[in-house]
Every structure is written in C-alpha cells, then in structure tokens.
C-alpha cells in the first residue's frame, strides 16, 4: 500500500512539474493569419468560409504551418467583423457552429492550433447591449461610456489627427454622447463595469470550452481610458485588467495563448509583459518595419533596441505585414528578391513568426486606401476565368493577381518559387532548435550591406548571412573559417577557407556540423 501511495504521489508530482516547466507550444509555432472571407470558398457564394479552410488544411500543414489565427468569425454588420454583434455565434456567411467545431477537430488532428480574434475594446453600435444601453436599460446603462456634456471632453483620437471631438458621438435615443475611439459604429465598452467584465469572461470561457487554443486580442492599448491624450492608451488600469484576464484564461486552460495587438514601439509593447502574465506574445511592429526596409542598419537597430527592455526576446512576435497595412510585396517595391530576403529575416528571427495569408506566394495589391484591397481573395490556380480557383461564384471583392505566377498551383510545382522558399525556411525553423531559441547575436562587420547573425541553442549553432546589395559581396567571418558547415537551403556541406562570397540580394544559412 505504501508503495502504491508513493507511486501515485510521484506520478502526480511529475505531471505537475512537467506542466509547470513545459515549454509553451507557441514558442515552437509558425502562425498563419487567415481572413476567412478571402481564403477559400467551398460553396460557390463568393465568400470564403470555414469549410473552405477545412479543405485547405493540408496545404497549410504541407507549408509547415502549425497554428492559424482566424480574423473575426462573429456576426457583424461589416465585411471585416471588427464590430461584433454576438460574441458567442459564428457569422452565418462563414458557416455554422458545427462547421467551426469541425474545423477545430480537423486542425487538431493535424497538430494545428487555432486561435480566434477577440475584439474586447468595442462592439458594434447595433449590438443588443448598446441598443439597451442607449435606452437606459438598468442592466446595460453603464456598459458603455456616456457623457451628458462634452464641452470639457474634447479628447480626439488616441493616435492623433482629426478633430478633438471625433471620439464623442451624439446618441439621439439617450440624448447623450458616447465614446468611440475608432468610429461611431464601434462604441467603446466600459471595462470599469463589473457586469461588462463578467460578460467578457463568460464568452471567453465559451470559446475555450469549444476548444480554441487562445486569442488574438485586438487593439488592447485602448481598453480603459483615464483622460485625453496619453490617458487614452496603455493606461495602468488597462494593463492591470489584462493581467487579471490572463489569470482567468489560464484558470480555464493553462495552455491557451494570448496574443496582443499593441500597435506602437517596443518600449511600450514591453509593458504588456510580466512574469505574472499579461500577454504571452505581442506583435513586433518595430521589426516589421525594419525587415521590410531591406536595410541592414534598421534591422540591427531593431534587435539592439529590443534588448533594452525587460521582456524576453521571444515575447515579441515578428511579422512582415497584416490586414491593416499594405501587402509586404508592395512595401518591397514588388521585388521578389527582396521578398525572399524578408522571408529569411522573418523565419530565422527570434520569437514566434506570423505569416499573413498569401504572403508566401507574394500577393500584392492595388494601392488603394480602402482596407478591402489589403484583404483580397487568395488565388489558388492559374485559371483567371474561374476566379483563380477561389470560388465558382462571383468573388465578394475583386481579385488582383500581379502575374501568372502569383498563385498556389504554379508555385507548388516550382522548386525555386517563393512558396518553396517559405516551405524550406519553415522546415529549417521546425527542425533546428537554434532557430526557435531566444539567442541571436549580431556579428559586427564593416560592410553596410551585409547582415550577419548567429543563432544558438545548446550545442546547436547556425549562421545567417544576408546581402542587401544588388552586387556580389565578399565578407570575412573568421569564426567560420575551417569549420565544417552545412548549407541548410541546398543541404550541401562546405568548408570556408577564407572569406565568403554572397551574390547580390542573396543569403546563406549555414549550420555548424
């Protein structure tokens, strides 16, 4: 009996220790951001849907992706979904709750995690909560931020610009003004209200119980305001609120990830890190700009600046572009060679990388200020007459394909395509632990065009050398001389006697063996 008791205690203790010290799954993830409406249409109505994602899961796993982020899937009056009508339903244009549950099941079968967008800062102005609040329903009276008089409340947008009165909107039903940081159709929730908090916790638990693996949290900087200007973003109350929210999420599912959108510099982003838990990851906007600048000095500066702050390197999640900015290919001047270098920067970087759908095939866009152009349907085939394989119906928005090679079908067949490079880089990241570690050392050199850094984890060491010049460049890296190396792109073994030659707008990834 004593032996059995000891064995039981030892087993439970071992499980407890493994849970406490286990490496979080997201540190080994490569995320893929999906705008459901534009990914793949399974039923011919011109709108991408959840069944479409299910049908393309094998494409994602073959690419090497092991986590997906779905932009808002909730009912909404807008095409984008960031003004939510119902936090516990699925947008009927995308399918049913059964479709979503099937997506979770099929993704998890393949080892793919699924996180969804949660928009906590605001709702739609058509949300039942807001309608009831505008009528002073006692339950919902203080769900939003109301003012009878705004003569002293001319705050302006949190990010500047426009009129100082833009955020206060007159409501004729209540005959008061409500606060809406983004626009009149998105009234801000009053997160000082305990009833609001209870509702947020309720729908958060709803999705965790469904089996989602976490959340991408939209616009979290603006959750709780204390006044105009600096008081509209990154307040201590906001950060404290999310620290409690993190604790709640982990109490429901300790393995759930929280990814924060804090669209600003990393000095501020780092405030959302705590050893007690606030966000697990935050997007790294500094490195996004640096990677797309194709400038060695900008990239070095981004890495060195990041080290000044308290958050660890793998807290900052690198990406190239997302649904709010021009496509990466546009920012790179539609230069495929630069797109290849940007992919190397992203997928050999510290932190958990995020890809925006279509980035892997070099999608570009018409440079129009309307955000729809940043979120156009994904071309799957070469068949222009059949909407490039996206839908058998009429696409919800016009498709833009820069050339006949910008589609999945063509690039899967081409071992030298951008898609093939992405697949190779993701394979390297997944198979060599140094590329998933926090350790990245910039190696100084006097050539303004050559970026060299070393990635290490235990006894594993690899080197990344990138030439941002259009000309062939020579570089001496004494640490590499006379070492046995493997080119991880070509799989060839080489030994460097003296100096390395790198072609213009090219790179090397070398592993010490």
Active-site amino acid positions: 218, 261
Q: How many CA atoms lie within 13 A of 285 on its CB side?
A: 13
- Report the phi/psi class of residue 331: left, alpha or beta, with left for phi > 0 and alpha for psi in -120 to 50: alpha
H helix runs in 22-96, sequence order: 36-39, 50-55, 57-63
What gap in Å lies between CA 492 and CA 452, rounded to an integer? 20
Q: How many CA atoms lie within 13 A of 134 on its CB side?
A: 18
In 251-348, which ranges are E strands?
257-260, 281-283, 316-317
- Report the phi/psi class of residue 389: left, alpha or beta, with left for phi > 0 and alpha for psi in -120 to 50: left
Tokens of 17: 């220790």
Residue among 261, 220, 290 nearest 33 (CA): 261
User: What three-state secondary structure class fits 477?
Assistant: coil
Q: Measuring CA to CA, how many Å separate 104 from each of 113, 217, 231, 261, 411?
A: 8, 19, 39, 23, 28
- Report the phi/psi class of residue 116: left, alpha or beta, with left for phi > 0 and alpha for psi in -120 to 50: beta
Number of residues that make up the chain:
513
Tokens of 322: 């997302």
What gap in Å lies between CA 308 and CA 299, rounded to an integer? 15
Buried b (16+ CB within 10 A) or exposed e, 321-331: bbbebbbbbbb
Angle at which helices 336-347 and 285-293 pack, to 10 degrees?
Answer: 140
User: Is residue 394 a contact partner of residue 386, using CB atoms and an 8 Å limit?
Assistant: no
Q: How many helices (H) and strands (E) does the chain have?
A: 15, 19
Q: Measuring CA to CA, how many Å separate 134 from each of 27, 182, 310, 386?
A: 44, 19, 43, 47
């Amino acid at each position: 009996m004593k032996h059995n008791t000891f064995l039981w205690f030892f087993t439970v203790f071992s499980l407890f220790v493994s849970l406490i010290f286990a490496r979080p799954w997201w540190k080994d993830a490569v995320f893929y951001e999906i705008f459901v409406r534009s990914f793949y249409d399974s039923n011919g109505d011109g709108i991408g849907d959840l069944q479409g994602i299910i049908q393309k899961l094998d494409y994602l796993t073959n690419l090497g992706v092991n986590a997906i982020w779905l932009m808002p899937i909730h009912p909404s009056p807008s095409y984008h979904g960031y003004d939510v009508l119902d936090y516990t339903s699925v947008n009927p244009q995308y399918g049913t709750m059964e479709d979503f549950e099937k997506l979770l099941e099929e993704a998890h079968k393949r080892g793919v995690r699924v996180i969804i967008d949660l928009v906590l800062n605001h709702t739609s102005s058509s949300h039942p909560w807001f309608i009831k609040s505008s009528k002073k329903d006692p339950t919902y009276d203080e769900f939003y931020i109301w003012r009878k008089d705004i003569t002293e409340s001319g705050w302006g947008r949190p990010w500047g610009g426009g009129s100082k009165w833009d955020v206060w909107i007159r409501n004729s039903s209540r005959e008061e003004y409500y606060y809406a940081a983004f626009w009149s159709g998105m009234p801000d929730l009053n997160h000082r209200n305990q009833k609001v908090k209870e509702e947020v916790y309720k729908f958060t638990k709803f999705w965790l119980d469904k089996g989602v693996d976490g959340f991408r949290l939209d616009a979290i900087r603006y959750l709780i305001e204390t006044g105009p200007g600096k008081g509209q973003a990154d307040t201590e109350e906001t950060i404290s609120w999310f620290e409690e929210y993190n604790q709640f999420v982990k109490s429901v599912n300790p393995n759930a990830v929280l990814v924060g959108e804090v669209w600003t510099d990393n000095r501020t982003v780092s405030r959302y890190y705590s050893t007690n838990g606030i966000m697990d990851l935050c997007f790294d906007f500094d490195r996004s700009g640096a990677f797309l600048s194709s400038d060695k000095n900008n990239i070095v500066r981004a890495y060195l600046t990041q080290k000044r702050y308290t958050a660890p390197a793998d807290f900052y999640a690198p990406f190239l572009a997302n649904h709010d900015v021009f496509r990466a290919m546009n920012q790179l001047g539609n230069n495929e060679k630069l797109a290849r270098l940007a992919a190397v920067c992203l997928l050999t970087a510290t932190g958990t990388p995020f890809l925006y759908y279509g980035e892997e095939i070099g999608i570009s866009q018409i440079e129009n200020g309307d955000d729809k152009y940043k979120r156009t349907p994904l071309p799957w085939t070469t068949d222009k007459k059949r909407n490039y394989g996206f839908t058998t119906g009429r696409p919800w928005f016009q498709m833009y394909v820069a050339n006949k090679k910008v589609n999945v079908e063509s690039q899967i067949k081409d071992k030298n395509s951008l898609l093939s490079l992405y697949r190779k880089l993701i394979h390297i990241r997944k198979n060599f632990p140094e590329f998933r570690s926090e350790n990245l050392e910039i190696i100084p050199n006097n050539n303004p065009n050559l970026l060299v850094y070393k990635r290490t984890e235990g006894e594993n060491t690899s080197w990344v050398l990138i030439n941002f010049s259009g000309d062939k460049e020579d570089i001496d890296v004494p640490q590499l001389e006379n070492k046995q190396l493997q080119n991880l792109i070509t799989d060839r073994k080489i030994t460097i006697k003296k100096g390395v030659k790198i072609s213009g707008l090219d790179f090397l990834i070398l592993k010490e063996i």
